[in-house]
Amino acid sequence: MSINTLGVTALLLASASPLLQASEQSESAGFIEGSKLSVKARNMYMQRDNRASGARQNYGEEWAQGFIGTFQSGFTQGTVGVGIDLIGQYAFKLDTGDGRTGGGTGLLEQDSHGAKQDMSKAGAVLKMRASNTVLKYGTQVMAVPVLATSDSRLLPETVDGFSLTSKEIRNLQLDAGHFTGLTNRNQSSRDSGHMTAVDYLGGVYTFNERLSSSLYYAKTAEHFRKYYVNTRYLLPLGTGQSLKFDFNAYDTQSIGQARSGDLDNRIWSLGGTWTLGAHAFTLAYQKVSGTGDYVYGPDGNAVYNFANSVQYSDFDYENEKSWQARYDLNMAAYGVPGLSFMTRYVKGTDFKSGTGGDLNGNAWERDVEVRYVVQAGVAKDLSFRVRQASYRSSERGGQIDEVRVITEYPLNIF
């Protein structure tokens, strides 16, 4: 880069300085001083009953205990800070067997004899920070819209590769990454998910405290490319009242060898939530168009962005249209802080009922959830959650009744 170019760049940065964030690295506390160590104990019981005739396995039931330990160092001081992150996971079986293991529960690692007695896995990250930009390499838990690891069972998934997060410009977060390995949530061997390389680039811009938008691009080698767009808007309506709107859309198209099939798929959803004191009422609509179902690939949990991605189904079959009605209640307003309740109903129609099938598929799902979080004392932040789902479709997806009971206790050691 020439001296003249450097001078012009410096001038532009100086003129844009009101838009730049103060440097986080300049305020680094140090490698040890900024460190955090925590352990999350998670106990989970899951039962799934598939009532559809001809199901591969009609009943699954597993109960297990898991521990997720994370260490996050601070960054060394100086212009470029260096640090490490560590994650260790361990789980052991409490009860299953006699034909009950598997069946979609997916809590425990399997071998030729069924569920293993226990499993463990670990990973490390080397990280560097300059100003407000952080580069990481290693085993990571991700939550970007085009690459999100699943944490919906006992232990979370992890991916291996590079990630870059930059917050140099006020209100703008830029993300980029290159990942080549995926370790499934119930498997201990590295890259058990046989991940094909994924590259992504995108960002989130927050216009103000009410409005934000996101745009991302991702490519899964020899499979497909994806675009993602999101807009969220919050409209205050007065004391204890608000309206929140959330729009999400993905566009997926096969590339290269098209190993995921001939895809030209779009899915979008729009949800609106009216909050009135302790009550929240949500209505949402979701639509799939183009060729093929929505395909997850290694970005499995990215589906959490869809309005109608619920406990069992994601309502994302080819051509599927779905509506949701949901109600949430926060019992703090009635003298029971920490206790909450949720129920929802989703109806899907007009989806392709299978390979070569007609567009006449119909399905519905009903979910109920109760959660309590201890508010004070020795057991502060201990949470109990019961989730029940019923899904019915005569054309595709099965006839499912499912129960999950989850207890979590996060312990911050330092």
pLDDT digits (tens, 9 = 90+) for 50-61: 887 777 777 889
Q: pLDDT of 64-99, one tens digit each?
A: 999 999 999 999 999 999 999 999 999 999 988 767
pTM of this structure: 0.91
Least confident of 257-266, 267-276, 374-383: 257-266
DSSP line for 205-233: EE-SSSEEEEEEEEEETTTEEEEEEEEEE
Residues 6+ apart with CB under 8 A from 356: none
Of residues 351 and 263, which shows the higher confidence score? 351
Could you give the 3-state DSSP secondary structure of residue 19? helix
Instruction: Please check whether residue 127 is in contact with residue 85, taking contact to mean a CB–CB distance below 8 angstroms.
Output: yes
**What is the model's pLDDT at position 101?**
79
**What is the model's pLDDT at position 210?**
97
C-alpha pair distances (Å), 24 with each of 142, 167, 212: 21, 10, 23
Rounded distance between C-alpha atoms, residue 73 and residue 365, angstroms: 43
In the structure, what pLDDT confidence band is assigned to residue 2 with cuts at 50, 70 and 90? very low
Mean pLDDT over each residue of the chain, to the nearest integer: 90
Residue with tokens 């249209």: 321
Q: pLDDT of 97-140, one tens digit each?
A: 767 877 778 898 988 788 899 999 999 999 999 999 999 999 99
Instruction: Please check whether residue 232 is in contact with residue 209, taking contact to mean a CB–CB distance below 8 angstroms.
Output: no
- Give the DSSP letter of residue 300: G
Rounded distance between C-alpha atoms, residue 320 and residue 294, angstroms: 10
What would the mean pLDDT of 17-35 be, rounded to a whole number? 86
Four-residue CA torsion sign, 188, 193, 194, 200: negative
Whether 354 shows a pLDDT value over 50: the answer reads yes
**What is the model's pLDDT at position 33?**
95
Residues 6+ apart with CB under 8 A from 3: none
> Which run of H or of E encompasses 186?
none
What would the mean pLDDT of 276-288 be, rounded to a whole number? 97
Least confident of 112-121, 204-213, 322-331: 112-121
Residues 6+ apart with CB under 8 A from 144: 175, 177, 200, 202, 216, 302
Rounded distance between C-alpha atoms, residue 170 and residue 16, angstroms: 11
Q: pLDDT of 215-240, one tens digit each?
A: 999 999 888 899 999 999 999 998 88
Least confident of 43-52, 120-129, 281-290, 333-342: 43-52
